Structure 1
Amino acid sequence: MGNDAPLYIGLMSGTSLDGIDAVLARFPADAPMQLLGHYHHPFPAALRAELLALNQPGDNEIHRAALAANGVARCYAELVDELLQATGRAAADIAALGAHGQTVRHRPGEFDGRGYTTQLLNGALLAELSGIATICDLRSRDVAAGGQGAPLVPAFHRALFGRPGLASAVLNIGGISNISLLNADGSTLGHDCGPGNCLMDLWIAEHLGRPFDAGGAWAASGRVLPELLAAMLAEPYFALPPPRSTGRDLFNRAWLQRHLGDGRFRPEDVQASLLELSARSIAGEIPAGMPELLVCGGGALNARLMQRLAELLPATTVMASDARGLPAMQVEAAAFAWLAMRFRQGLTGNLPEVTGAAGPRLLGALYPA
């Protein structure tokens, strides 16, 4: 059933900058989504460093950003080629690919009343290299309509995980954490909670030279610093009502340094406090009585963070999205394949009640094959 439905590829590289995930999927009208393949590649070290640097103002930004966008397109195209080879498909078999690009600035609603969101990706180059119709720039239309441009995944979470008459929540923990609330009455809400992995990744890279804290082991070796935690939780962003979204524009090294000041803290205690910040800023967004919380993204692999969420939410069953049939590291890429499908079918992709946009909008820009 549904094996003749068109094939789509989704490409996602998130705020954590841990690399690119690609999935091959189809979305039958009369059956659940079929996931036919998944590949992950880290970014080359030099490109990752440049993308991270471009999150902050610097010299010659236009030139550097253009070349970085070319680099992202090349990495995406290489991953698409590997995915096609592994699944025995050709570019001509794919209806379209949905490509997120790499967010380097996210400032919706600021400056001139509309603001902007910037994901680096040369979509024309990706279409040229892959030979597949490329749908990208998926956030800008929502921002143009007065929305946050994020999160975009709640509609997909509803389509994938929603069950009639039953409430649940879906949490993506990437660099930034975002929540989707799938209410029992069929309504869907969601917003960005705050830092997921970004501050923890930054801190362990600085002190131990590792890209992430595997399993949260380093954080578990430290103790939470109550005064530091309280100061970080006092960040005004956490008190904003939805719709709201955030990124490295706010939660970055300078933000952390303001809270650390001249304090002489053990690095592992800071890491423990950063993990607790992520856990509490998430747990505070889960309604009382929510029966289950499905976790996806890299944070689902952080055993210590998952443990703290379970402890902070004793009435909620906390589990990785694998328990509902889709591995945690594949959910967001699958969402962008789904958004590409929505675009090709002329269907809207945003939820105004989530992003605050003036209404439903067709999301993305098309570069034909």
Structure 2
Amino acid sequence: MMNKECYIGIMSGTSLDGVDVVLCEIDDVECKLLSALEYPISLELKADILKTIEDESSLEQLGQLDHRLGLLFTQAVGALLIRENIDVSSIKAIGLHGQTLWHAPTGEYPFSMQLGDPNILTAKTGIPVVADFRRKDVALGGQGAPFAPAFHEFIFSNIKNSIAIVNIGGMANITVLDDTLIGYDTGCGNALLDMWIAEHEGSSYDKDGAWAKTGRVDYGLLDRMMSDSYFEQSYPKSTGREKFNKGWLQSHLSGATHNPEDVQRTLLEFTALSISNEVLRFNRDMVMLCGGGAKNIFLVERIKALMPNIEVSIATNADEIEAMTFAWLAYKRFHHEKVNLKDVTGARENAVLGGIYA
């Protein structure tokens, strides 16, 4: 057994609800969470990220955003180091996912773009950084996402039940632990819910699904959204804001007038239904939820109601698992170990992922 080493993981997902930073102690059999912190993203930076995704941007704007995100991730790590009084010499490396701006793993020129300059992070902290995890998988013909299933297999391998794990971030993904590891994006998670309440209520998210609960499901709208071709595609598959965004929703609203709370309620049902439909494809006894959406009480209620014969629970450290994934991926990179993802992403082979910024 290898000696335990300390790694930091950083995750800023498509939900843009904050930067998750974790400190983990890792060896070849365990990834133990030692501490965690959620660092806020300023409203100005969040707006600029969304504007860059949704509108045309100049090379200058992209370059500046890359730098600003590098500073944000540095500040987030610094906050954890200071709060926990951590000696930087005790940290082997930082695993940095970066902020996804665009994910297009299919087509003539497939790519996945994450911003947040790792050079800034290592220069200011003095800690090596592992970043740019997704593009090697894409270069090998894979989707470059989701990566969480490989980590789920590592941390949940001792559970004997027939389980699935569902991570609900801005997008949602499923992991099915079986003889062959299965994992893919089920569709939208929190992204449209957060976008809609921000536009109509000025809140960054719908706490506990309280606003959605005041509305009614518009089944016509729900049917139109569920008829999207993404749900007919077989896995491996992945998606993001380049697909499920404001323009996509507006196209299904069809210019008609809708009560805002009814749209919110319908979007919540859309997330719950798209998740439950995928879980029910597999003969599972139990589903464990993680990610920010696992804190949405009403969303969890609806997922349970749509799968009455399956036990639904919230995973331990549900909020931190994604950031822990990238601490673990940094560990894998430093030990030159391939990541078991080819059956998830469709890549030609498993590979050592990420570049080291020393």
Q: What TM-score, normalized to structure 1?
A: 0.94
Structure 2 residues not aligned, in runs of 5+: none
Partner Cα separation in structure 2 for residue 162 and residue 285 of structure 1: 21
Structure 1 residues not aligned, in runs of 5+: none
Report the residue type matching 1:179 in the other structure. I
Are residues 350 and 249 of structure 1, via their aligned partners in 2, closer, same or farther at CA, if it must alter by over 3 Å? farther
1:53 counterpart (41, 51, 64): 51
**Where does residue 152 of structure 2 map in the other structure?**
157
Partner Cα separation in structure 2 for residue 367 and residue 52 of structure 1: 27
Q: Per-residue deviation at 1:53? A: 1.1
1:190 equivalent in alignment to 2:187: no
Native 8 Å contact 2:23 2:33 kept in 1: yes
Comparing 334-343 and 36-45, the one that deviates more: 36-45
Partner Cα separation in structure 1 for residue 164 and residue 174 of structure 2: 7
Map Cα deviations across residues 99-130 of structure 1 (whole Å, 9 max, x no partner): 011001000022x2x41000011111111011
1:335 counterpart (325, 341, 346): 325
Aligned residues: 357
1:296 equivalent in alignment to 2:290: yes
Partner Cα separation in structure 2 for residue 278 and residue 173 of structure 1: 9
What pairs with 1:195-344 in structure 2 (closer than 5 Å)? 195-286=188-279, 287-322=281-316, 327-344=317-334
Q: Per-residue deviation at 1:87? A: 2.5
Native 8 Å contact 1:173 1:299 kept in 2: yes
Native 8 Å contact 1:162 1:168 kept in 2: no
Q: Per-residue deviation at 1:28? A: 2.6
Native 8 Å contact 2:161 2:286 kept in 1: no
What pairs with 1:24-63 in structure 2 (closer than 5 Å)? 24-29=23-28, 32-60=30-58, 62-63=59-60
Which consecutive segments of 4 or more residues in structure 1 shift more than 4 A? none
1:66 equivalent in alignment to 2:63: yes
Q: Per-residue deviation at 1:162? A: 2.3
Report the residue type matching 1:310 in the other structure. K
**Where does residue 133 of structure 1 map in the other structure?**
128
Map Cα deviations across residues 15-50 of structure 1 (whole Å, 9 max, x no partner): 0011100000011335x3221110101111211111
Q: Per-residue deviation at 1:288? A: 4.8
Partner Cα separation in structure 2 for residue 337 and residue 170 of structure 1: 19
> What root-mean-square deviation, in Å, do the aligned CA atoms of Structure 1 and Structure 2 show?
1.4
SS at match of 2:184: strand
Q: Percent identity?
A: 39
Partner Cα separation in structure 1 for residue 53 and residue 235 of structure 2: 24
Native 8 Å contact 1:289 1:316 kept in 2: no
Partner Cα separation in structure 2 for residue 164 and residue 172 of structure 1: 17
Partner Cα separation in structure 1 for residue 194 and residue 184 of structure 2: 22
Partner Cα separation in structure 2 for residue 85 and residue 261 of structure 1: 50
Partner Cα separation in structure 2 for residue 59 and residue 247 of structure 1: 18
Q: Per-residue deviation at 1:265? A: 1.1
SS at match of 2:36: strand
Map Cα deviations across residues 262-285 of structure 1 (whole Å, 9 max, x no partner): 211111111111001101110011
**Where does residue 113 of structure 2 map in the other structure?**
118
Partner Cα separation in structure 2 for residue 194 and residue 363 of structure 1: 25
1:105 counterpart (102, 107, 111): 102
Partner Cα separation in structure 1 for residue 64 and residue 311 of structure 2: 45
Map Cα deviations across residues 182-205 of structure 1 (whole Å, 9 max, x no partner): 12xx43100000010001111101
Report the residue type matching 2:334 in the other structure. R
Q: What TM-score, normalized to structure 2?
A: 0.97
Map Cα deviations across residues 335-354 of structure 1 (whole Å, 9 max, x no partner): 00000000000011251110
SS at match of 1:95: strand
Partner Cα separation in structure 2 for residue 165 and residue 90 of structure 1: 38
Partner Cα separation in structure 2 for residue 165 and residue 219 of structure 1: 36
